[in-house]
Amino acid sequence: MAQRIKRRTCKHCGMVFLPDPRNATRQRYCSNYQCRKASKASSQKRWLEKPDNQDYFRGPDNVERVQRWRKDHPGYWRRKPKNKPTALQDPLNQQLPEKNDNKDDFVFPALQDPLILQPAVFIGLLSQLTGFALQEDIAMVARRMQQLGNDILNPQHKGGSYGRKTSDLS
């Protein structure tokens, strides 16, 4: 049977609180901001009062340790500019297709291959016009549009379904 957690009185503000179950036997301060600050100050004071910790931040060994750390982490303590915008996404570098000596003609190319060759503006326009966000759907629309363009530019070309003239736009 699980033991019931007992309420405690905060050492800083004196209010009764329910300790966190993971730390119920050791928690002496409530979660109020000022009480957490007092808890931190008390903890630091207890740590500094121990004889082994008296000179922890002093002496040539510690000076050398800090100097090494600062050398390994340049600019760590400098403030970042407040007005500098941060990117939500890393910029994408253009991937150029690799030269492939394989001359096999595939019916359905790889998912991203047709899109790599298209300008980003065209892909964005197709996505905006069709409402599709998946590359596979956009690639299908791009293939359809390419076939339509080929049929318009080469009306004698057989195999296209867009070469016929129609009176309505439906």
Q: Is 139 exposed, middle or buried (0-12, 13-18, 19+ CB in 10 A)?
A: buried
Q: What is the pLDDT of residue 138?
A: 84
Q: What is the pLDDT of residue 58?
A: 83
Digit-by-digit pLDDT tens for the chain (170 residues) are: 567 888 999 999 999 999 998 988 999 999 999 999 999 999 999 999 999 888 887 888 888 988 899 899 888 877 776 676 666 666 667 677 777 666 655 555 555 555 555 577 778 888 888 888 888 888 888 888 888 888 888 877 555 554 455 444 44
**Dihedral sign, Cα of residue 108, residue 112, residue 116, residue 122:** positive
Beta bridge partners of 133: none
Q: pTM, whole model, 2 decimals? A: 0.38
Q: What is the pLDDT of residue 127?
A: 84
